[in-house]
Structure 1
Amino acid sequence: MTDLKRVDIYDTTLRDGAQSEDVQFSVEDKLRICRKLDALGVDYIEGGWPGANPKDDAFFARARKELNLSHSRLSAFGSTRRAAARVEEDVVVRGLLSAEVGVITIFGKSWDLHVTQALGISLAQNLELIHDTIRYLKKRVDRVFYDAEHFFDGFAANPDYARQTLEAARDAGADALILCDTNGGSLPSQVGAAVAGLRDLNAVLGIHTHNDSELAVANALAAVEAGCAHVQGTLNGLGERCGNANLISVLPNLILKMGRETSVGEERLPKLSALSRFVNELANRPTQKNQPFVGSSAFAHKGGIHVSAVLKDSRTYEHIRPEQVGNKQRVLVSDQSGRSNLLYKFSELGIELDPKDPRIQTLLEEVKSLELHGYQFDGAEGSLELRARRALGQVPTYFERRGFRVIDERRIREDEDDDRFMGAEGTVKILIGGVMEHIVAEGAGPVDALHNALTLVLSRHYPSLGEIELADYKVRILMGSGSMSGGADAIVRVLIEWNDGERRWGTVGVSDHIIAASYDAMVEALEYKLFLDKVRPV
């Protein structure tokens, strides 16, 4: 029998979550999220559907070369074979194997309506598709999970047939049978009753729920209570339509409320708040203040009676300690928290500080002021660490900025007889080693031109800067600046990811001008690289 106290955690942010409207993860984004999920300790990370699109193919190709996961296992996702194809010749099955991962998840039809109407085949043929595909894959990879699509709708319409689809997957060797509430319309009582009625299958049961009735988390927890030992979900509940079960909420409920054992563990739950914000930054979505557990309002108190009570004993108005999920208590009239959260972040960066060090308060005030003006340090680890190290006097002055200029132009390319080519010219002035350097470089756009100019001049003195590459670039329009400066210009936050072949880091810049924000983030990236390399200033 399955150990029902232990629950496997399966994340599908990179596949199901990426199907959210207005969310476009780049390959770089997916790799960064993978590393964060591995650090959190999830058991399985669903990377995408190999063969379905070039991005997922590129992701799996790069993952093989670049990811060195310490705990998580990467999974490829796809469907059962087509009815008209032999399993060994099926293009989807071949695509799954081309990912070269040890775990594969396939979905099949468990609702007779979909079998006869969507696929247009007999019920018996569908059972063959499920059985043949799983048996074939199980001989070639370590683990195969079966996602029973539309299971609860199918179970309500034809329970005998829905059960037969699970038996076909089990008999073919599936390592877990995942019951999917694909349309998101089930109630927790229905989910619990269905799972309990399937315990006699003598197989590992899992749950995959959608949030169309705003019950995805509740349904996932009900399934675990009834006997599921495998939970699928996404970070921040990303997913098609209304989203999937939110692992940011599922995990603390499982661990803190239900006493279930997971690979994440209570000691890693404090990573959740930062992870939630990190994924929102990469998805270019605003973080919801009222998101349970990790939102900035989740442990915020405003009413006088609430404030009076919670300052005496936080249990009066808080269901858990906010630190357990990496959040913080806030009193909206007079904010009395922040130091512990900052110290925790510094510990993640390897910065050891005495909690009584007066420099902490100075740094805390600086960070709060920057956040007030639009800065966000989630996803910008390089910028935050630089500020912390500077406050401790650990970062030397490598160079001094003296100005920059950018010219955009539309011109005729040398190899084409038209004027549709857009280019840019960047000029920077840098004081380095007591000498004023003034240099011009071209680029595909203004950011690229400035980056080329900076690295061109600085790499003469610091050769390792030639290794740095801009990996990703995101812009967020935050708000009008009228409330702070009396004008109507937009405040722009630029988040840039960098790599030097061995490491990746993010930096952030904020300004009322997108180029200025980008330039600030660029300069910090170069300074951070020099600091990491322990380079001495010229």
Structure 2
Amino acid sequence: MPSTQMLDNAKAILAQADEKLEKLRRIEPYLIDLSLRENPVGSRIGQTLQDKLAILPRLREFGFKHISLGTLDYAMPDELEVDDDFMQHLRDRSIDMTGCYAFTAIGLQSTDGHFTPDPSQLKLKAYGVPNTVHEIYLSKEGMADLYDLETLRRSLPASIQWLHDNIRGDQGAPPRILINIVDGCDAFAESPETVCSMLELLTELPIEGVSIEDDRGTFLPFQVGAYVAVLRSFLPPPLKVLVHIHSGAGFENASVIEALLNGADGIWGGLPKRAAIIGHASVGELIANLVRLGNPHMKRYNLHQLHPLATSLQVLDDAHAVSDDLPVFGRNAYRLTLGAFEQKKNRFMDLAPETIGGRYGYRVCPVISDPGVIAGRLAEVTGRPIDDFPLHVTRRMVRLMRRDLRSGRRIAYDEPMQLLELYARASAPDTAEPAIDEATADA
């Protein structure tokens, strides 16, 4: 038995983890869904106007209160995008845009006080979108060819004032303005003095909050957490702190959790995994992970729609199936290869697929799959009940797969024809291969 002192120390360490879990269970995250923009940006095909018109009510039905309709601060603003057509369509037909955002760039103010709004700001006004994520850059590379720091400090208050003077917010209220530091992580790493100076300025301005990005997904989770902690120290509630994290090195969802633990209010992103590069920490994944932890606020979403909605949107954007091995939403995420891997509804930290509108399937792997998985896959392939496949036959199938691999035969048994052939061999052993005596073999 461990000593009392060592056991008390262990419990104290574990208690810290429990405190973090409890914080994540209590948080009611501020989410802005970008399924109408983030996902199609990096997709093989994208979305048409008709696609967007069909997607918007589905996002509303799922439960999103805050939805980005698109981006207006893109290159070559004179060449309109589908996002422009979409927002004009909503405006012209008086479709409710309450809670909706569009991304814009700041306008510039000259040294003599003359302010020139950015084309994206003019479009925001013309289209009647009530809220905006207003983007700035703070690193030297990010600001290059846009503005210097002095111009930015002079222009940002004027740009925010222009929005208040020209944009009608939700139900006539002032617009919600989130300042997104596109290169936020880079700027913190390069010059924390510059970022902190800008945060001091922002606390004096009429904004909703501040967002930072790791737009290449290269910063470690504890770095993101530290940057968020600094943001929170300058921006007390009710100011919002949000993050947007791309997949680069595989840290993205861990970085979001670190951000939340360090004071972030939420994230913005698309519902599916697809994003501008190879993926991002999506709002769908965050919702699923908070459900995993037992966060009661996730009940406001129609969770039974989460899996089918997220996967269908990605299929729409790519005209291609979701990657089989994608966590949470991929086809193989809930295809058992071994019964022991099953995530159960009432087990701590598990997320049963039915909770988010998915269901378990089966995938046969010759090295690990057990008789239960093989019976399940046979049932999928044949449409017959699992009980139709006797245990002694499925056990023989396990043995035959091992023998085949040892003899150098590499066979994809998960494929229906190969699986049925294996089943036939196990049901009526061929005289060309040694018979399997289950009783003596198991002994």
Q: TM range, normalised to the smaller chain?
A: 0.5 to 0.7
Q: CA deviation at 1:24?
A: 1.6
Out of 280, 284, 305, the position equivalent to 1:248 is 284
Query: Which residue of structure 2 lines up, in the alignment, with residue 377 of structure 1?
Result: none
Q: Is the 8 A contact 2:185 2:214 kept in 1?
A: yes
What are the within-5 Å matches in structure 2 for residues 54-203 of structure 1?
A: 54-65=81-92, 73-82=99-108, 86-87=114-115, 89-115=117-143, 117-119=144-146, 121-139=147-165, 140=167, 141=169, 142-201=175-234, 202=236, 203=239
Out of 352, 365, 369, the position equivalent to 1:321 is 352
Q: Which has the higher contact order (CA 8 A, sep 6+)?
A: 2
Task: Return the alpha-carbon distance in structure 1 between the equivalents of residues 378 and 128 of structure 2.
Answer: 47
Gaps of 5+ in 2: 1-25, 170-174, 364-373, 385-416, 418-443
Gaps of 5+ in 1: 340-363, 366-482, 484-538
Task: Return the alpha-carbon distance in structure 2 between the equivalents of residues 259 and 327 of structure 1.
Answer: 19
Query: Which residue of structure 2 lines up, in the alignment, with residue 269 of structure 1?
Result: 303
Task: Return the alpha-carbon distance in structure 1 between the equivalents of residues 378 and 205 of structure 2.
Answer: 55
Q: Is the alpha carbon distance of 1:118 and 1:21 closer, same or farther for their aligned partners in structure 2, counting shifts above 3 Å?
A: farther
2:369 paired with 1:335: no
Task: Return the alpha-carbon distance in structure 2 between the equivalents of residues 182 and 295 of structure 1.
Answer: 23
Task: Return the alpha-carbon distance in structure 2 between the equivalents of residues 172 and 267 of structure 1.
Answer: 33
Q: Is the 8 A contact 2:37 2:270 kept in 1?
A: no
* TM-score (structure 2 length as normaliser): 0.67
Percent sequence identity is 19
Q: Is the alpha carbon distance of 1:45 and 1:87 closer, same or farther for their aligned partners in structure 2, counting shifts above 3 Å?
A: farther
Question: Is the partner of 2:376 in helix, strand or coil?
Answer: coil
Task: Return the alpha-carbon distance in structure 1 between the equivalents of residues 320 and 28 of structure 2.
Answer: 33
Out of 199, 207, 231, the position equivalent to 2:243 is 207
Task: Return the alpha-carbon distance in structure 1 between the equivalents of residues 272 and 379 of structure 2.
Answer: 23
Q: CA deviation at 1:155?
A: 0.5
Query: Which residue of structure 1 lines up, in the alignment, with residue 438 of structure 2?
Result: none
Task: Return the alpha-carbon distance in structure 1 between the equivalents of residues 38 and 199 of structure 2.
Answer: 22
Task: Return the alpha-carbon distance in structure 1 between the equivalents of residues 340 and 116 of structure 2.
Answer: 64
CA displacement 1:126-174 (0-9 Å, x = unmatched) = 1222222122213433211111111111011100111222333332211
The one-letter code matched in structure 1 to 2:333 is A
Q: Is the alpha carbon distance of 1:227 and 1:67 closer, same or farther for their aligned partners in structure 2, counting shifts above 3 Å?
A: farther
Name the structure where helix makes up a greater proportion of residues: 2
Q: Is the 8 A contact 2:109 2:115 kept in 1?
A: no
Query: Which residue of structure 1 lines up, in the alignment, with residue 274 of structure 2?
Result: 238
Q: Is the 8 A contact 1:328 1:338 kept in 2?
A: no
Question: Is the partner of 2:302 in helix, strand or coil?
Answer: helix
The one-letter code matched in structure 1 to 2:376 is D
Q: CA deviation at 1:38?
A: 0.9
* TM-score (structure 1 length as normaliser): 0.56
Matched residues, number: 332
Task: Return the alpha-carbon distance in structure 2 between the equivalents of residues 149 and 243 of structure 1.
Answer: 17
Question: Is the partner of 1:236 in helix, strand or coil?
Answer: coil
Q: Is the 8 A contact 1:60 1:99 kept in 2?
A: yes
Q: CA deviation at 1:113?
A: 3.5
Q: Is the alpha carbon distance of 1:258 and 1:159 closer, same or farther for their aligned partners in structure 2, counting shifts above 3 Å?
A: farther
The one-letter code matched in structure 1 to 2:316 is L
Task: Return the alpha-carbon distance in structure 2 between the equivalents of residues 289 and 16 of structure 1.
Answer: 21
Task: Return the alpha-carbon distance in structure 2 between the equivalents of residues 133 and 265 of structure 1.
Answer: 38
Q: Is the alpha carbon distance of 1:32 and 1:300 closer, same or farther for their aligned partners in structure 2, counting shifts above 3 Å?
A: same
2:65 paired with 1:43: yes
Q: Is the alpha carbon distance of 1:100 and 1:328 closer, same or farther for their aligned partners in structure 2, counting shifts above 3 Å?
A: same
Which runs of at least 4 in structure 1 moved beyond 6 Å after TM superposition?
313-318, 336-339
Q: Is the 8 A contact 2:293 2:349 kept in 1?
A: no
Out of 11, 33, 40, the position equivalent to 1:18 is 40
Out of 29, 54, 64, the position equivalent to 1:32 is 54
Q: Is the 8 A contact 2:107 2:117 kept in 1?
A: no
Question: Is the partner of 2:331 in helix, strand or coil?
Answer: coil
CA RMSD of aligned residues (A): 3.2
